[in-house]
Amino acid sequence: MGNGIAHVFARAGYAVVLRDVDQRFLDRAMESISKNLDREVKKDKISEAQKSAALARIRPVVDLPSLAAADFVVEAVPEQWDLKLRVLKDADSVVRPGVILATNTSSISITKLAAQTTRPENFVGMHFMNPVPVMVLVEVIRGLATSEATFQTTMSLCETLQKTPVAVNDSPGFVSNRVLMPMINEAAFAVMEGVATPEAVDAVMKTGMNHPMGPLELADFIGLDVCADILEVLFQGFGDPKYRACPLLRKYVAAGWLGRKSGRGFYKY
Ligand SMILES: NC(=O)c1ccc[n+]([C@@H]2O[C@H](COP(=O)([O-])OP(=O)(O)OC[C@H]3O[C@@H](n4cnc5c(N)ncnc54)[C@H](O)[C@@H]3O)[C@@H](O)[C@H]2O)c1
């Protein structure tokens, strides 16, 4: 997600500092960005010169002080509370007062993360969709303390990235995952109960509901571990059994069948 976010900011003309823990990851990210920009050149969305200019605007770094130059920060480290907390506190300690800290979290409370920084009023959720350069939605999530100015700045910023921002309040799963995950979970239950094969479930949703991907295909794309984790957040957050993760989904995760990234999920890759 981080390389996609850097991609769209750089393409829109912003200078980007892309930070990761190791140069290897940065090299891989720059390679992905270059390949993804190539795709846009091939589709005549941007010119070769625009591609080179966008790449030149990204400065990959591993050190923390380089972040001090930022006017806006988007955090996109793995979905673990302790890690996010450490990274956000680090950013909070080096950027100027008033600079907005945004998090791309899929499921952690914006209010709770914001409260751990010195700037809860300048803290916001900026939930990009995967793949970032392609998907136009950004859920912009207000924490309890998010100021109107922070919220409006983030909404406007999304528009300059040629994204469509949608305003959402802080609540487990926001809107995207609160609606999507129960559908994926129900599809998994249908397979577990022998109602239909994964192919049949996906065919119904693609051809009958006009979804571009079936729910199980999408679950494999997102990662079955990620789906199970988000369902757990919904289950804990609402205390409602309707969000309990399907046992088949949990079994696949336990087996290491995590979807596309592990070569096997509901489908084999
Ligand atoms: N994958 C998706 O479809 C998706 C969609 C929307 C939102 N998200 C959210 O985006 C975030 C990132 O997800 P991802 O799938 O890109 O994860 P990922 O594991 O693919 O990438 C995370 C990156 O963060 C880096 N990182 C780890 N620790 C770091 C640190 N201390 N400082 C700087 N960088 C560090 C890792 O090296 C890695 O490059 C998560 O919060 C996730 O919930 C993911």
Contact 73, 91 (CB under 8 A): yes
- In testing the pocket of ligand 1, which one of 106, 168, 181, 224 has its CB within 8 Å of the most ligand atoms? 106
**Whole-number pLDDT of residue 228:** 95
Contact 213, 199 (CB under 8 A): no
Distance from residue 190's CA to the centre of ligand 1 (Å): 31
Give the tens place of pLDDT for each residue, 203-247.
Answer: 999 999 999 999 999 999 999 999 999 999 999 999 999 999 999
- Side chain identity, residue 211: H
**Nearest C-alpha neighbor of 109 from the set 151, 81, 77, 68:** 81
Give the tens place of pLDDT for each residue, 2-39.
Answer: 999 999 999 999 999 999 999 999 999 999 999 999 99
**Atom 17, ligand 1: which residue's CA is nearest?**
78
177 is catalytic: yes
Q: What is the DSSP string of the chain?
A: -HHHHHHHHHHTT--EEEE-SSHHHHHHHHHHHHHHHHHHHHTTSS-HHHHHHHHHTEEEE--SGGGGG-SEEEE---S-HHHHHHHHHHHHHHSPTTPEEEE--SSS-HHHHHHTSS-GGGEEEEEEPSSTTT--EEEEEE-TT--HHHHHHHHHHHHHTT-EEEEEES-TTTTHHHHHHHHHHHHHHHHHTTS--HHHHHHIIIIIH--SS-HHHHHHHH-HHHHHHHHHHHHHHH--GGGPPPHHHHHHHHTT--BGGGTBSSSB-
76 lines ligand 1 (CB under 6 A): yes
CA–CA separation, 58 vs 119, rounded Å?
26
Question: What percent of the chain lies above the pLDDT cut of 90?
Answer: 98
**Atom 19, ligand 1: which residue's CA is nearest?**
78
CA–CA separation, 14 vs 160, rounded Å?
10
Distance from residue 103's CA to the centre of ligand 1 (Å): 11
229 lines ligand 1 (CB under 6 A): no
111 lines ligand 1 (CB under 6 A): no
pLDDT band at 124 (very low <50, low <70, confident <90, very high): very high
**Whole-number pLDDT of residue 259:** 98
Q: How many CB atoms lie within 10 A of CB 149?
A: 12
Burial bucket for residue 54 (CB in 10 Å: 0-12, 13-18, 19+):
buried
**Whole-number pLDDT of residue 240:** 97
pTM, two decimal places: 0.93
130 lines ligand 1 (CB under 6 A): yes
Give the tens place of pLDDT for each residue, 66-123.
Answer: 999 999 999 999 988 999 999 999 999 999 999 999 999 998 999 999 999 999 999 9
CA–CA separation, 262 vs 247, rounded Å?
19
Contact 253, 224 (CB under 8 A): yes
Distance from residue 20's CA to the centre of ligand 1 (Å): 10
CA–CA separation, 263 vs 220, rounded Å?
9
Give the tens place of pLDDT for each residue, 37-71.
Answer: 999 999 999 999 999 999 999 999 999 999 999 99
Task: Report the largest interatomic distance among the alpha carbons of the chain, rounded to a whole angstrom.
Answer: 56
**Whole-number pLDDT of residue 234:** 95
Give the tens place of pLDDT for each residue, 139-194.
Answer: 999 999 999 999 999 999 999 999 999 999 999 999 999 999 999 999 999 999 99
Distance from residue 173's CA to the centre of ligand 1 (Å): 17
1 lines ligand 1 (CB under 6 A): yes
Pairing of the two strands 123-128 and 137-142: antiparallel
**Whole-number pLDDT of residue 113:** 97
Tally the residues of the chain: 269
